[in-house]
A and B are shown apart, each in its own frame.
Chain A
Amino acid sequence: MTTLVKVTELEKVYQTGEIKFQALRGISLEIQAGDFVAIMGESGSGKSTLLHVIGGLDQPTSGSVWMAGQQLDKMNETELARFRRSEIGFVFQFFNLIENLTVRANVELPALLEDQLKKKEIRRRSEELLERLGISDQANKHPWELSGGQQQRVAIARAFINFPTLLLADEPTGNLDTSSGDEVLDILKDFNQGGQTTLMVTHAASAAKLANYVLFIRDGLIVDRMPGGNEKAIARRLIDLRQRGS
C-alpha cells in the first residue's frame, strides 16, 4: 500500500478581529491509496476545517500536508487551484451546483477549465458518469429542477470528471432523506471499491460504517480511531466520546 496523504502536526487558527480561535490543534494522519476513511465528531470540532486544508481550499497555520508527492502548504493560489482541479473531487452537503448551467455543463465544468482536454473526450466521460449515476435523462435540466438526491449525484459526477486522486465528501448525506442518502453512499462505496481513495465527514454511524476505518475528532484533535463495518459500535463510541468530553 502506498501512502497517498500525509498530514503532520496540522494546526489552524481562525482570527476574527481580536478573537483567535484554534480549530485544529496538531492533527497528524496518513491515508493509503484506496482507503475509505470516515471522520466523525461533534459540530464545530474541526471536521470541515480539516477537510478544507487537506483539499487545498484553505492553508494551515502550521504543519504540512503532502499529497501525491506534492506539499500543499507551500503552493500559491494558482498552483492550489490547478491541484484541486486535477487531484481532488469535492462533494458537499449543499450540493453547490451552479444554478444557471445545465446538469451536463455542471459535470463537465472542471474538465473544461483545463484548456488542453478535448471536448469530445470530456463529453464521452460525462455521459459515462451520468449513466453510471443514473441521471443521464436529466442531463439537459438545470439543478433547481432536480431532487436533492439527484443534485447530489450531479455533484458526485462533477467530482469524478477529472479522475481525482482523492475524493473529499463533507456530510454528503446531511441534506438528504434516508433513501437518497443511502443511494449516495452506495455510489461512493462503489467508486471506492473501484479504487477511489475517499475521505468523508459524516454525522451518521450508518454512513461511517462503510469506511475502512473511522477517525474521531474533538476540539481540533484526533481523539480516537476504529475500524468501520459495525454501525452500532461506531454509534456507541460516538456517545462515549461525547460523555467523556462533557
Chain B
Amino acid sequence: MSAVWKKIVADLFHRRWITFLVTCTVIVSAALLTLALSTLLNLSGPYDKLFDELNSAHLWLHFKPYRVSSMDIRRIEALPGVVDSTDVQYSYFSQVTISNETRAWVDLRVIPLEPPNVHSLKVIAGRYLLPGKDEILIEKYAADTYHVAVGDMIEVTREDNTKAALPVIGIAYDPMYDTYRSNQLPSLFVSQDTFRSQFPDQDTWVWSVGLRLADPEAVDEVLDEIESMRSSEFVDTHTDWRDAKESAVFSVQLTFAFLSAFSIFAIFATILIVVSVVSSMVLSQIRQIGILKAIGFTGNQVSLLYVGQYAIISLVGAGLGFILGLILAPLPLQTITASLGTTYYPPFSFLLMGLVFLIIPGTNILAAWAAARRGAKANVIRSIATGAESPLQKPFWGTRFIEYLGAPMTIVMGFNDTFAKPIRAILTGLNLTLGVIGIVFGLTLSGTLQTYRENPALLGIVYDAFVTRQDSSDGRAQRILSQAPGVQAFYGEYRLRVKTLDGEEFLLRAVEGELSAFPFYIPEGRFFYLDTNEAIVGRGLLDWLDLEIGDSLTLTLAENDRRTETWTIVGVYPEPADAGQRMIVPLSSVLALDRHAASESYYLKVDQNVDLLKLRKYIEPDKDTDLTLTLVEEAIPSSVIFLQLAIFMLGGILVAIAVVNVFIMSLLSTQEKIRVVGILKTIGMIPFQVVVMIITSAGVLGMLAVLIGIPAGLLLTRVLLTTLSNAFGFGLVSVSVNVLVIIFLIPIIISISLLGSLIPARWASRISIVRVLRQE
C-alpha cells in the first residue's frame, strides 16, 4: 500500500506540468458546474428574499367599479385561508404626460404614508412619500419603460380633464408587478391626500386589496372561494404572486440554461483531457508498468496508482473550483438582483457541495480507472520487451496520400503520428472541435443579431413609430396622419380579446390601411388578402392551438360569445409579444363580431430623414391633444446580448482548454517518442525538422477540428435558435453568418493548436541524443 502511495506522489511531482494543467482544467470545470448549480438552486432566491422582507401579498384582487362593498372586503379578510391584508387600496386609471412629452395610461395608486405591515414597497432610488406633500413614487418597471428619473415631473389628468404636475421623488420596486404580462398598467403611487385632491369623486375609484395567504400555494382555492361569495362577478382581475415571480425569474433562467451548457461542455472537456492524459501516461509508462508488475505490483495496485493520482488531482481541483464558483456565484444572479434593487449572496449549501464533489471527481476517477485497467492488464514480458503496444500495421490512407503528393518526409511523419494513436487524436480533436463549435456559435449568433438589428421587420417590427388616440375619432386621427409631414404610409390597428370555442383567450389585431407599404416578414405561407376572412398568426398560436396553415379558426369576443366569425390561416408572421400567441386579420372581417371596431393605434412608416420635431408637433400640437406619438427604439432584448457574451466566453474557455489539451498531448507523445526523436536526430534530422514533425500532428488536429467544428457550430446555432424561437412562439428565425469571419477562423484555430505543441516540439528538438541513446 505505501509502495503505491510513494509511487503516486513521485509520479505527480515528476510530471508537475501535466499535474498542474490537468488540475487547472478540473478547477475550471468545477467552478462552472458550481456556478450553474448554484444559479439553478437559487434562481428564485433574490425574489423570495425580497418578497419576505416586504411581507408582500400573495394575491391581489382588483374589483369592478360599483360592485364591491366594505362588507365584501371584511368577509374576504375573514376567510380561513387569508392571514393578513393590505386593506382596501384605491386607484384610478389616468392618462399622464411624462416630462412634457410621453403620454401613457397608468394605474395611479394610493399607498399608506407609513410603510405598511403588508406589502410595503422597496425604494431603490430617491425616497418614500412624505406627509403633506403632493408627490409621486413611481414603480421601477414604469420608470424604466418611460425613462423616468427622480426629479422629473409627471402631469396627471384629473376626472374633469384638468391637469396637475407632480414631482417624482422616488422609484420603488413592487414585487407584484408582473413585467411579463402587459395587461397590467404601469403603477404610480401617491398619498391618500394627494389622490383625494386630484380625484375627489370616490365613486370613480377602483378598489383593490392584497392578501397574504396561510398557504402561498393555495391562491387558486382562495380565489375560487372569493368568487363564489357573490353571485355576480365582482373581481375584475387578480394577480398571483407566482406569476409575478415567474416573470421576475425568467431572465435568470436563460442565464442558467447557458451556464449549464458551459459546465456540461467543461465537464466533457475535462473528461477528454483526463482520458487522453491517463491513457497516454499509461502507454508511455507501459515498460515501467511491466517492471512494476515484475517486482510484484498486482494489477489492482497498478490501477490504484493511476486512480489515486487522479483522485488527488480531481479532489484538489474540485475543492478549488468549488470555492471559485462560490465566489462568482452572485454574478449570474446579478441581472435579477439589479432589477429588484437588492443584493443577494447564494447561501452555502451542502447539496451543492455534494453534487460538485460527486460529479467532478467521479467522472475523473472513472476515466482514470478505465484507462488504467488497460495498463494493468498489459503482459509483463511483452511490455518490458517492446515498450508501447505495437503500432498500426498499415499507415493511415491520408498519410500515404500526402506522401504521394510529395510532402516532405518530416510532414509525412508528423501526419502519421496523428493517426498512429487514433483514440488520443480523436479525444484531443474533439476537444478542439468543441472550442470551434463554441466560437462559431457565438459568431453566428452575433451575425444573426446584427441582421435583426438592421432589419427589425424580421422581428415583426415593421414600423418606425406608432400613434395612439383617446378621444379623437378614428377618422380624425387618420386625417391627421395622412397629412402629417414625413409620414410615408400608415396602417391602423384595433385590438380585441377573442376566444376560441374551447375558451382559449388571446389578442386579435385587426388592421387596415396601407399594409403593402410595410415589409411584413412572412416566413411561412403568405400575407392575407384584404376584405377576406384570412388571417396570419404568430407561430406560438399555431403551436398552442395545434393548428396549421390552411386551417380555419372560429372565434368569439372574450366577453361576449353571442356572435362567431371564422378565419382561414394563410401565413405565419413573427409575433414578438404574448409568446407569439396573437393573430392579425383585416379590420373589415371583425365587424361582424364587434360593430364598433375602429382603429385605435396607428403604425407609421416615416421618411428616412424625417424632421421628428416637426412630426411630433403636427401630431401633438399642444398638451391637450389626445394623439401620442412613440418612436420605436431598441428591439433586441438585453438578455440576448448577454447570452451572446456568454457564448463567446464559453468558446474562449473551450479553446483555452483545447490548447492545454493539445499541449499535454504533444508533450506526452513527444515523451513517448523521445527515443525515436533521438534516433532521427542521430541519422541527421535537423532541429527545425523535429519541430515541423511534431507540430504537424497538432496542425492536422486543428485542421480536422475546423473542418468538423465549423459546420457543426453552424448546425448547432440553427437548431438551437430555431428551438428557442419556437419555444417563445416566435416562428422561423433566419440565421445569418459572416462568412469572412468564419474563414478567418480556420488559420486562427490551426495556429492556436500549433502553438499548443510548439513548446514540446522545441523541447524535443533540443534533447540530448546521447542521453536518449544511453537510456537502454
Residues of chain A at the chain B interface (Cβ within 8 Å): 52, 57-58, 77-78, 81-86, 88, 90, 92, 94, 96-100, 109-110, 112-113, 115, 119, 142, 144, 158, 162
Contact = CB atoms under 8 A, between A and B. Distances in A.
A100 B416 contact: yes
A57 B776 contact: no
- Closest 9 A/B residue pairs (Cβ): A85-B684, A100-B391, A112-B409, A81-B686, A110-B683, A78-B686, A84-B684, A58-B770, A96-B679
Contact of B684 (A58, A92, A110): A110
B682 interface: yes
Given A78-B688, A100-B416, A90 B682 contact: yes
A233 B301 CA distance: 55
Contacts of B392: 100
Nearest to B387: A99
B685 interface: yes
- B contact residues, range: 20 to 34
A142 B393 CA distance: 8
B284 to A, nearest CB: 14
Contact of B686 (A82, A94, A158): A82
A119 B404 CA distance: 11
A90 B683 contact: yes
Given A78-B687, A82-B684, A86-B684, A98 B776 contact: no
Nearest to A88: B684
Contacts of B70: none
Contacts, number: 75
A140 to B, nearest CB: 10
Contacts of B683: 84-85, 90, 109-110, 113, 158
Nearest to B390: A144
Interface string B641-671: 0000000000000000000000000000000
Contacts of B420: 100
B685 A81 contact: yes
A235 B551 CA distance: 107
Nearest to A142: B393
B682 A57 contact: yes
Contacts of B406: 119
Interface in B739-776: 765-766, 768-770, 773, 776
Q: Name the residue in B386, B679, B682, B683 with the highest tally of chain A Cβ atoms < 10 Å from its Cβ.
A: B683
B304 to A, nearest CB: 30
B679 A98 contact: yes
B412 to A, nearest CB: 8
B679 A57 contact: no
A96 B684 contact: no
B616 interface: no
A77 B773 contact: no
Q: Tell me the interface secondary structure of chain B in the complex.
A: helix
A12 to B, nearest CB: 10
Given A57-B682, A58-B769, A100-B392, A81 B687 contact: yes
A209 to B, nearest CB: 27
B774 to A, nearest CB: 8
A57 B773 CA distance: 10
Contacts of A58: 768-770
Contact of A77 (B676, B687, B770, B776): B687
B685 to A, nearest CB: 6
B131 interface: no
Given A90-B683, A113-B683, A142-B391, 16 more contacts: A58-B769, A78-B688, A84-B684, A85-B684, A85-B686, A99-B391, A100-B391, A100-B416, A100-B420, A110-B684, A113-B409, A113-B680, A113-B685, A142-B393, A144-B386, A162-B684
Contacts of A100: 391-392, 416, 420
A57 B770 contact: yes
Interface string B666-709: 00000000011001111111111100000000000000000000
Contacts of B679: 96-98
A216 B594 CA distance: 119
A92 B686 contact: no
A96 B686 contact: no
Interface string B397-423: 000000000101110000010001000
Nearest to B684: A85
A119 B408 CA distance: 11
A98 B687 contact: no
B684 A113 contact: yes
Contacts of A109: 409, 680, 683
B310 to A, nearest CB: 29
Contacts of B682: 57, 84, 90, 96
Contacts of B765: 77
A158 B686 CA distance: 17
A119 B768 CA distance: 30
A220 B328 CA distance: 65
Contacts of B409: 109, 112-113
Nearest to B388: A99
A115 B684 contact: no
16 contacts: A52-B770, A57-B769, A78-B686, A78-B688, A81-B685, A85-B685, A96-B682, A98-B676, A100-B420, A109-B680, A110-B684, A113-B683, A113-B685, A115-B408, A119-B406, A144-B390
A57 B680 CA distance: 12
Interface string B291-314: 000000000000000000000000
A98 B392 CA distance: 13
A81 B770 CA distance: 13
A88 B682 CA distance: 9
A115 B684 CA distance: 12
Contacts of A98: 676, 679-680
A129 to B, nearest CB: 14
A58 B771 CA distance: 10
A162 B683 CA distance: 10
A244 B457 CA distance: 102
B533 to A, nearest CB: 76
Nearest to A175: B776
Contacts of B766: 77
A112 B406 CA distance: 11
Contacts of A86: 684
Contacts of B684: 81-86, 88, 110, 113, 162
Contacts of A84: 682-684
Contacts of B769: 52, 57-58
A113 B416 CA distance: 15
Contacts of B410: 113
A97 to B, nearest CB: 8
Nearest to A108: B409
A15 to B, nearest CB: 12
With a 10 A CB-CB cut-off, give which of A81, A98, A112 has the most chain B CB atoms: A81
B529 to A, nearest CB: 73
Nearest to B682: A90
A94 B420 CA distance: 23
Contacts of A115: 408
Nearest to A109: B683
Contacts of B688: 78
A195 B252 CA distance: 84
Given A81-B684, A98-B680, A99-B391, A113 B689 contact: yes
Nearest to B391: A100
A99 B688 CA distance: 22
Contacts of B770: 52, 57-58
Nearest to B676: A98
A77 B215 CA distance: 82
Nearest to B765: A77
Contacts of B773: 57, 92, 96
